[in-house]
């Protein structure tokens, strides 16, 4: 049994969003969600398990050779996730961990999905207990991060909402053979937005939440069909409809949550111009944040990246693509 | 009987928005609306009635001494309004009209409200048939512009939605003694947005339209109470809630309508900063367009105008205030 292991896991971008929970602490979602696993945006985590009983520690490797301590809020979720992982695996030991994101930490890209999936993989690997992606999905989700449950598969991932089977894992919905790209526009941001956790809490206070729930099953089915059937026009229409729907629920919750920044609108306008005036297939989506993910076929990627990069309110662009899922890494972070 | 007359009428900004109609041609609104009459933003119109039977003509006075012809779409609505006005008044004659807006024509400020109210006043004055503001409200609304029905009163105006009395006029809801200011931020715009008429047509296609209708009576009552009771905090909360509600219905209609520009978000963010960080009472609202009206008490006006003017995406600021309604003008435009 190796007591030191390193794994990396990808972030993902949801096409149908998880927003609102029936049990937030255990990430029991109000609705099924569907995502694309990314490849470039990922978290790499090294864990070393010691026999003594001291407190777990986690440090962050910004990538410049230094190690920094994590914020308290992160430490709390990390400690809770580790406690639950040890319980599920029936193992013991103090964990020392170092974690590194491939994307800038202030980029506003959700790092909890890749972060907690990578932690679940690294711990499982350290105890030689790696399992199926479905079991790893359940372990990643012990963190309380629902989106982490979708980061243990490559390709396109469906995470069901089944009140009768709250433990049900995500499953692979389509393979990475459907080649889509994600050109991520990082926009100038204001003060830190409301956390996703707080957003989930407020979701049901929106008068429009119930209507969203009514329409989601049909929208999910149609978007899934368009994705697997290669109908990018219908996919575009439904992806943007769903994006607006998530944000209008957030904007109409109490108190209201407005994730959009001026740059968000600039990218949306640019995407529409590209599609409607230049005939470049591409579609926008945003998670609970201001950054815009522009989903497109490979043939659109260069034109999208060029147009988005030229916007003054976009300070960085990441070119990502559908990915193959988590993997063991041979090089340790410490 | 004078056959030449000039009148001016104000624009207005809705606190509770008219969005969606049961009969669009006759502007029978799906819901009651509540507005503040403006003072600075107004249309002045001179009409001269000739005895012959040629076609009516309307020209626009940009204010530089020249006269230009109006776009076809405007001419059509103008001709229809004139036909209905003559029928209601039982009068005849070819109308020659010249009209001038106090605000830039490309400002994106709704000119139909002030424009059709001014036309109704000028025609009525030319035939010496000026009447109560209620009767003038009905005449202004013959244009098919619902918001024109609210521009015949000073102060704050309620336009009811009564399917049993489709002809019911707007009424004054509160006098201009409640001194509110409207700092209007004109933002950089993209291509011309979808017209209000087309927006009204699409409103009911939004899955969230029905929920909006359910919540409007209570919201209208509470906003009205906050306005007349001087509770600006509650007024702010409800005004912004209503604004978001209008735009989320537009954004979720088929096809979706996105009126916001990057500058819209920049102003919203600035308003929130002013209020939450600097303690300056102010509230944002937008009609069916990208420009932002910042409603505030007189004590906030200078701070709001300074903050908004400093935003790079705001190309002009108009300082307006609650107004006294239409008036006869002694100086003719031609």
Is the Cβ of A248 closer than 8 Å to some Cβ of chain B?
A: yes
> What is the pLDDT confidence band of residue A144, given thresholds at 50, 70 and 90?
confident
The structural domains of chain A, ordered by start, are 2-176 (3.30.230.10), 181-321 (3.30.70.890)
Which of A208, A256, A258 comes nearest B208 by C-beta?
A: A208
pLDDT computed for residue A107 by the predictor: 61
pLDDT computed for residue A207 by the predictor: 97
Please spell the DSSP secondary structure of B197-259, one letter per residue.
Answer: HHHHHHHTTSTTHHHHHHHHHHHHHHHHHHHHHT-HHHHHHHHHHHHHHHHHHHHTSSS----
Which of A207, A245, A269 comes nearest B215 by C-beta?
A: A207
Residue A326: pLDDT above 90? yes
pLDDT computed for residue A166 by the predictor: 73
pLDDT digits (tens, 9 = 90+) for A176-202: 999 999 999 999 876 667 888 899 999
pLDDT computed for residue A110 by the predictor: 65
The 8-class DSSP code of residue A188 comes to: P
Mean pLDDT in residue range A101-121: 84
Which residue positions in chain B have pLDDT lower than 70? 1-2, 105-110, 191-192
Residue A55: pLDDT above 80? yes
pLDDT computed for residue B113 by the predictor: 94
pLDDT computed for residue B105 by the predictor: 66
Mean pLDDT in residue range A22-51: 93
- For the ranges A15-24, A185-194, A236-245, B233-242, the lowest mean pLDDT is seen at A185-194
Contact A215 B208 (CB under 8 A): no
| Token pair listed for B186 | 């004109």
Size of interface A-B (CB pairs under 8 A): 59
Query: How many angstroms separate the CA of residue B279 from the nearest CA in chain A?
Result: 17
> What is the pLDDT confidence band of residue A113, given thresholds at 50, 70 and 90?
very high
Report the distance separating Cα A318 and Cα A184, nearest Å. Answer: 5
Which of B244, B264, B313 comes nearest A252 by C-beta?
A: B244
Mean pLDDT in residue range A245-264: 97
Is the Cβ of A90 closer than 8 Å to some Cβ of chain B?
A: no
pLDDT digits (tens, 9 = 90+) for B39-97: 999 999 999 999 988 899 999 998 888 999 988 888 899 999 999 999 999 999 999 99
Which of B241, B258, B263 comes nearest A268 by C-beta?
A: B258
pLDDT computed for residue B31 by the predictor: 95
Is the Cβ of B262 closer than 8 Å to some Cβ of chain A?
A: yes
Is the Cβ of B190 closer than 8 Å to some Cβ of chain A?
A: yes
- For the ranges A107-111, A131-135, A140-144, B146-150, the lowest mean pLDDT is seen at A107-111
User: Which of A190, A248, A259 best probes binding to B when mutated, by most B CB atoms within 10 angstroms?
Assistant: A248
| Rg, C-alpha atoms of chain B | 19
C-alpha B228: how far from chain center? 21
pLDDT computed for residue A22 by the predictor: 87
Q: Which of residues 103-122 of A touch B (CB under 8 A)?
A: none
Residue A283: pLDDT above 70? yes
Mean pLDDT in residue range A136-159: 95
- Measured CA distances, B145 to A143, A250, B137 (Å): 55, 32, 11
| Token pair listed for B18 | 């008219």
> What is the pLDDT confidence band of residue A109, given thresholds at 50, 70 and 90?
low
Contact B262 A266 (CB under 8 A): yes
Q: So what's the ipTM on this one?
A: 0.91
Residue A98: pLDDT above 80? yes
How much of chain B is in helix, strand and coil states, percent to nearest 5? 35, 25, 40
Residue A1: pLDDT above 60? no
> What is the pLDDT confidence band of residue A106, given thresholds at 50, 70 and 90?
low
User: Which of B236, B262, B285 best probes binding to A when mutated, by most A CB atoms within 10 angstroms?
Assistant: B262
Q: Which of residues 149-168 of A touch B (CB under 8 A)?
A: none
Which of B214, B244, B261 comes nearest A265 by C-beta?
A: B261
């Amino acid at each position: 049994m190796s007591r030191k292991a390193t794994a990396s896991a990808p972030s993902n971008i949801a096409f149908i969003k998880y927003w609102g929970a029936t049990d937030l602490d255990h990430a029991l979602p109000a609705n099924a969600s569907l995502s694309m696993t990314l490849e470039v945006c990922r978290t790499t985590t090294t864990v070393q398990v010691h026999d003594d009983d001291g407190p777990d520690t986690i440090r962050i490797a910004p990538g410049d050779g230094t190690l920094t301590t994590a914020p308290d809020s992160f430490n709390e979720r990390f400690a809770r996730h580790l406690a639950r992982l040890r319980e599920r695996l029936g193992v013991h030991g103090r964990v020392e961990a170092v974690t590194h994101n491939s994307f800038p930490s202030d980029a506003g890209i959700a790092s909890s999905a890749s972060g907690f999936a990578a932690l679940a993989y690294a711990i499982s690997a350290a105890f030689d207990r790696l399992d199926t992606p479905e079991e790893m999905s359940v372990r990643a989700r012990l963190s309380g991060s629902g989106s982490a449950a979708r980061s243990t598969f490559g390709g396109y991932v469906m995470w069901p909402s089944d009140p009768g089977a709250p433990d049900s894992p995500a499953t692979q919905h389509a393979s990475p053979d459907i080649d889509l790209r994600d050109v991520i526009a990082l926009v100038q941001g204001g003060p830190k937005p409301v956390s996703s956790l707080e957003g989930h809490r407020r979701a049901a206070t929106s008068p429009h939440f119930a209507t969203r729930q009514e329409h989601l099953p049909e929208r999910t089915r149609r978007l899934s069909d368009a994705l697997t059937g290669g109908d990018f026009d219908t996919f575009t229409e439904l992806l943007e409809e769903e994006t607006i729907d998530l944000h209008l629920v957030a904007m109409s919750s109490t108190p209201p949550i407005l994730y959009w920044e001026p740059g968000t609108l600039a990218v949306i306008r640019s995407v529409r111009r590209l599609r409607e005036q230049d005939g470049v297939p591409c579609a926008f989506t945003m998670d609970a944040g201001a950054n815009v993910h522009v989903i497109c076929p490979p043939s659109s990627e260069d034109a999208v990246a060029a147009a988005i990069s030229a916007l003054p309110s976009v300070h960085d662009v990441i070119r990502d693509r559908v990915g193959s899922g988590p993997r063991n890494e041979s090089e340790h972070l410490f």
